[in-house]
Chain A
Amino acid sequence: MRAALPQDALLEDEASRRTYECDGLTGRRSVPDLVILPGTVDEVRAAVRLCHAHGVPFVARGAGTGLSGGSLPVAEGVVIGLSRLDAILDIDLARGRVVVQPGVTNLAVTKAVSSAGWYYAPDPSSQQVCTIGGNVAENSGGAHCLKHGFTVNHVMAADVVLPDGELVTLSRDDSGPDLLGLFVGSEGTLGIVVSATLRLLRTPQAVRTWLAGFESTDKAGDAVSQIISSGILPSAIEMMDSLTIAAAEAAVSAGYPKGAGAVLLVEVDGPLAQVDDDSAAIEAICRACGAFEMRAADTVEERARLWKGRKSAFAAVGRISPNYYVQDGVVPRTKLPEVLRSIAALEAEHGLRIGNVFHAGDGNLHPLVLYDAAIEGQSELAEKVAVKILDLCIEAGGSLTGEHGVGVDKACSMPKLFGADDLGVMLRVRDAIDPAGISNPGKVFPTPRLCGEVPGPYRVHPLERAGLADRF
C-alpha cells in the first residue's frame, strides 16, 4: 500500500486507527489494521486491487453515522474512508441531475441547487453529516420518503469499484437485470460507489405542516390509517408518544400540546391548490379521530419550529436517560395501534421505559429503550427488549429494518424473517460479485461466529471485571 498510495492517504498509527473502530453503533468495535483515505478514484481502485490480490478484507466508510454497524471495521482488515472524495462533479439542472462523489454530504447536494429551486429528496435525520456513498450503500430514507421514496428511487447511475478493483458503471438505462437496484442498499457487500448520478426534484410551490395533538397513540394511529386510505399522500407523517413529547419539551421547549398522549406531524407539499385541498381533508380526519388541538405552519421558520421537537427527539431522550437503545423496525400501517400496545406491555413486563418516535406514514418504528448502563444487567435487558420489539414487528407481518440497515446489529435476526432458501439465494448473488468475500464481510448475513456474540452497547464482561481477561 505504501508503494501504491501517497503517504498522506495512509493512517498507520494506533491513535488514528482507533478513531475508526466503530460507526454510530458504538457498542461494536474493531480496530482496523490500516485506514486508507483515497483522494482519487484511481487510489480507491489501487487499494481494492491490492486487497483483492492479498485476500485482505476491506470496509468502506463515509461519515460513520450508521446505526447498524454497517461500517464496523474487520480485524486485520482495511478501512477505506471516502471522506476526501467530496466533490460535486456536475450540476445539470436542465435534466434535473447532479453527479457527486461519495463523500459529499446529503445536505450539501440540496444546498448546491436550492437557490435555483431544486432539492434532493431523501432526507435522513443525519443529512447534514451523512454522505451520499453511505446513503447509496444503506438505501437511506428519511422523514419524507413516504411520498418521495428512498435513495434507490433517486439514484440514476453509479460508478462502482467492484471487489476485484474493476470499475463499472451501473445505470437505470442498462438493459437486462436491474444491477443498479441490486447495488443500492447492498450495505457495502458488493463494492464501493465512487460517483453517483442523482435525480433532483423541484422545490414545491407550497409546503404545509400540521401538528395534531391526540389523547392516545391509538387515536393518532387511526388518523394515520384514515389519511392514507383516503388517497392523500402526505410527504411525511411522524408520530411521537407522551414520553418522547415530554423529552422534547424538556430539551427544546417545542411547544407541543399540553397533556397529549401522542402528536402527529403531517406535512403536505405540491401545488398550492392541492396543498389546500389536502389540508382541509387532513384536518377533518384528525378532528374526527379525536385531535384536540391542531396547528398549521406555512413558512420555513414556523415549520422548523414544529419540526424542532421531532428532530431533537433522539438527542432529547439522551438527556432524560443515561443510555438508550434505538430500534428500527417496520409494521403494516394498520397494525400500528396493536404493535404499540404490545410494546407498552413489554414496558410493563420488564420495567424499562420505551419511547416511541417514528415515521408513522410508512409504519417505520423507532422505539427507544431507555436504560442505565451503570445498573448491572440493565443493558442486557434493554437489548433483550429491543430484540423482542423486532419479533413483534415480524409477527405483525413487518420487517427487520426500515432504514438503518441490517449491518452487524441485526444479522442474527435475519433467519427470523428469511428462510434458508431466501438467505441462500442472497448469498449466491453476493458470491457472484465478491467470491472471495472481502467486501465488508460479516455484515447483513448471519454467521455462526457473529451470532455467538451479542450486538448492542459495549458491556464489561464479568471476566474482565474480575481482572481475569482483557479485551483485545
Chain B
Amino acid sequence: MDPKLLDDCVHCGFCLPTCPTYQLWGEEMDSPRGRIWLMKATVDGTLELDRTVSERFDRCLGCMACLTSCPSGVQYDRLIELARERVEEEVPRPWRERLLRKVVFALFPYPKRISFALRFASLPAPGPFRPLAELAPPWRERVAPPMVTPARGEKIARVGLLTGCVQSVLFGEVNKATARALAAYGYEVVTPYNECCGALALHAGHREDGHDAANRAYDAFKAAGVDVIVTNAAGCGSHMKDAHLDIPVRDVSELLAAGNAPELHPLPYRVAFQESCHLGHAQRVREEPRAALRSIPGLELLEPADQEICCGSAGIYNLVQPDAARELGNRKAGAVLATTPEIVATANPGCAIQLAASLRRAGTPLPVVHPVELIDAAITGSWEPKSRRHAP
C-alpha cells in the first residue's frame, strides 16, 4: 500500500456521519477513518493483518460516500481497493466464505449462467446462499437492444452501450430503453460487448480480473469504432471511467444532458430518485439524472432523506454481508417511502434489486425503474405503472 495515500488522511472524522457501517454500529474501526488507521498500522508493521483486521475491510460497502465528505482529498477508493487486494492475497477465509465468493464470481460475470441460475431461485437455498435467493427476482426471458440503433435526426456521435452482465439478464428492458432514448436524443447506439466489465471483481479485491475484463470491453468498443462508451449501470460506469481508456466513458444521463431533447409526453407521477453511490460519490454525476427526470412534464421529483447513505447493495455486499445489508435496506426503504412516491427510480441494477427487495419486505412493492426508462416512456407516451413491476 502506498504510504503517501495513507498520509493524506488528517484524522478529522468528517467521513464518520456519511459512512453506512458507522451509522449502523457506531464503531471507529468500522468507519473510513478507522479503516485507514488500521491500514496504516498494518503497513508500518505495528499490527498484523489478520482476520480481526480484514473483517473491518470486508465490512466496508465501498459506497464512496467518504470521498464526498472528505475535505482533504483522501483517495479512499484506491486505498480500500489496495487493502482488499492484500486481504485476498494474505488472509485465508473460512470455507463457507470461500465457497460463497467462488460461486458469486463464477456466476455473476457470466450472463448465461445468471440466466440459468435464476430458474432455480425459487428453490430453498442452503445456508450461505440464502441471501442470494432472497434477493433474486423471478426468472424472465432475456431481452436485448438491437446491435445498431440509428440516431433520430442529426447524428451527434456513435456510442457503444455497455449492456453488462447483471443488467443484460435482469434488466434487459433498461438496455432497450437506453438505446431507444439515446437514439431519440441524437446518438447512434451500438452494442458490441455483452459481458461483464470487471467492476464486481475489482471492487471485491480481484484487481487483475477487473482490469482484464475492462480491457476486453475496451477492445470490443474500439473495434466497433465508437466515439463514446456509455453505461447505464453506475458501478460499471465508475469502473470503466477509472480504467483510463482512450475512449471517453459517460453515464447515459450525461449524454442525455448533452443531446438534442425531443418533445416529451407528460408522466404525472410522484417519482422518488435514489442516488446510486457509484453515480453520485464515485462519478460525481448528480445533476444530470435529476435534470433528465425534471425535464419530463408533470413528473414530480422527490428526494428521500439521507440520500448520501448507501442502500446496502454495494456490488456483492448484500450477498457476503447480508445482515448489515438488510438493515441498511430497511432504513433506505423507510426514507424512500416517507416521500410517498408512486415510482422509485435509481440508476444501478444492484440498487434496483436491493430497493425492490427492501420495499417488498416493507410491504410496499412499488415499481423500481431506471430513470432512462421514464425518459423512454415520456418519448413514446406509453407508460403504465401498474403493470410494471421491476424486480418485484
Q: A residues engaging B (CB < 8 A)?
A: 11, 13-16, 18-20, 22-24, 26, 37, 63-65, 81, 83-84, 86, 103, 105, 107, 126, 128-130, 312, 314-315, 318-319, 322
Complex contacts, B37 vs chain A, CB 8 Å: 18-19
- Check B299 for interface membership: any CB of A closer than 8 A: no
- Check B71 for interface membership: any CB of A closer than 8 A: yes
Chain B nearest Cβ from A310, distance in angstroms: 12
The answer to whether B11 touches A19, judged by C-beta atoms less than 8 angstroms apart, is no
Q: How far is the CA of A209 from the CA of B34 in the complex (A)?
A: 37
**12 additional contacts, CB 8 Å, given A65-B12, A83-B22?**
A20-B28, A63-B13, A81-B28, A84-B25, A86-B26, A105-B17, A126-B12, A126-B14, A129-B12, A314-B71, A315-B10, A322-B7
Query: Secondary structure at chain A's binding surface: helix, strand, loop or mixed?
Result: loop
The answer to whether B73 touches A83, judged by C-beta atoms less than 8 angstroms apart, is no
The answer to whether B10 touches A318, judged by C-beta atoms less than 8 angstroms apart, is yes
Question: What are 13 A-B residue pairs whose CB atoms fall within 8 Å in the complex?
Answer: A18-B37, A19-B33, A22-B11, A24-B11, A83-B26, A86-B26, A126-B12, A129-B12, A129-B13, A130-B13, A315-B72, A315-B73, A318-B72
- Contact A14 to B71, CB < 8 A, known contacts A19-B29, A24-B13, A128-B14: no
The residue from B26, B53, B56, B71 contacting A37, defined by CB atoms under 8 A apart: B26
- Check B387 for interface membership: any CB of A closer than 8 A: no
Q: How far is the CA of A22 from the CA of B34 in the complex (A)?
A: 11
- How large, as a class, is the contact surface on chain B? 20 to 34
* Chain A residue nearest in CB terms to B37: A19
Chain B nearest Cβ from A403, distance in angstroms: 16
Complex contacts, A130 vs chain B, CB 8 Å: 13
Q: How far is the CA of A81 from the CA of B25 in the complex (A)?
A: 12
Most interface-central of B26, B38, B50 (chain A CB within 10 A):
B26
Chain B nearest Cβ from A254, distance in angstroms: 14
Chain B nearest Cβ from A113, distance in angstroms: 14
Q: How far is the CA of A129 from the CA of B65 in the complex (A)?
A: 14
- Check B16 for interface membership: any CB of A closer than 8 A: yes
- Contact A16 to B29, CB < 8 A, known contacts A24-B13, A105-B17, A126-B13: yes
The residue from B26, B28, B52 contacting A13, defined by CB atoms under 8 A apart: B52
- Check B41 for interface membership: any CB of A closer than 8 A: yes
Query: Secondary structure at chain B's binding surface: helix, strand, loop or mixed?
Result: helix
Chain B nearest Cβ from A258, distance in angstroms: 24
Complex contacts, A64 vs chain B, CB 8 Å: 13, 28
Chain B nearest Cβ from A18, distance in angstroms: 6
Q: How far is the CA of A318 from the CA of B74 in the complex (A)?
A: 11
Complex contacts, B41 vs chain A, CB 8 Å: 15, 18
Q: How far is the CA of A83 from the CA of B17 in the complex (A)?
A: 11
Q: How far is the CA of A105 from the CA of B17 in the complex (A)?
A: 8
Q: How far is the CA of A318 from the CA of B7 in the complex (A)?
A: 11
The residue from B10, B17, B29, B38 contacting A129, defined by CB atoms under 8 A apart: B17
The residue from B14, B26, B47 contacting A103, defined by CB atoms under 8 A apart: B26
- Check B327 for interface membership: any CB of A closer than 8 A: no
Q: How far is the CA of A83 from the CA of B53 in the complex (A)?
A: 21
* Chain B residue nearest in CB terms to A108: B17
Complex contacts, B50 vs chain A, CB 8 Å: 15
- Check B27 for interface membership: any CB of A closer than 8 A: yes
Chain B nearest Cβ from A252, distance in angstroms: 10
The residue from A11, A84, A103, A315 contacting B71, defined by CB atoms under 8 A apart: A315
* Chain A residue nearest in CB terms to B54: A15
The residue from B29, B69, B73 contacting A15, defined by CB atoms under 8 A apart: B29
Chain A nearest Cβ from B285, distance in angstroms: 20
The answer to whether A81 touches B29, judged by C-beta atoms less than 8 angstroms apart, is no
Complex contacts, A63 vs chain B, CB 8 Å: 13, 16
Complex contacts, B27 vs chain A, CB 8 Å: 11, 16, 37, 83
Type the 1/0 row for B44-56, where 1 means its CB is closer than 8 Å to any CB of A.
0001001011001
Complex contacts, A37 vs chain B, CB 8 Å: 26-27
Type the 1/0 row for B85-107, where 1 means its CB is closer than 8 Å to any CB of A.
00000000000000000000000
Chain B nearest Cβ from A385, distance in angstroms: 19
* Chain B residue nearest in CB terms to A66: B13
The answer to whether A19 touches B34, judged by C-beta atoms less than 8 angstroms apart, is yes
The residue from B11, B17, B26, B33 contacting A81, defined by CB atoms under 8 A apart: B26
Q: How far is the CA of A24 from the CA of B13 in the complex (A)?
A: 8
The residue from A18, A23, A86, A318 contacting B38, defined by CB atoms under 8 A apart: A18
The answer to whether A14 touches B47, judged by C-beta atoms less than 8 angstroms apart, is yes
Q: How far is the CA of A15 from the CA of B38 in the complex (A)?
A: 7
Q: How far is the CA of A128 from the CA of B68 in the complex (A)?
A: 13
- Which 3 pairs, one residue from A and one from B, show the smallest C-beta to C-beta distance? A83-B26, A315-B71, A19-B34
Complex contacts, B72 vs chain A, CB 8 Å: 315, 318-319
Q: How far is the CA of A16 from the CA of B7 in the complex (A)?
A: 20
Q: How far is the CA of A397 from the CA of B27 in the complex (A)?
A: 42
Q: How far is the CA of A315 from the CA of B73 in the complex (A)?
A: 9
Q: How far is the CA of A22 from the CA of B10 in the complex (A)?
A: 12
Q: How far is the CA of A64 from the CA of B10 in the complex (A)?
A: 12
Q: How far is the CA of A434 from the CA of B22 in the complex (A)?
A: 32
The residue from B17, B33, B73 contacting A319, defined by CB atoms under 8 A apart: B73
Q: How far is the CA of A128 from the CA of B71 in the complex (A)?
A: 12
The answer to whether B14 touches A129, judged by C-beta atoms less than 8 angstroms apart, is yes
Type the 1/0 row for B17-32, where 1 means its CB is closer than 8 Å to any CB of A.
1000010011111000
Chain B nearest Cβ from A460, distance in angstroms: 11
Chain A nearest Cβ from B71, distance in angstroms: 4
Type the 1/0 row for B154-186, where 1 means its CB is closer than 8 Å to any CB of A.
000000000000000000000000000000000
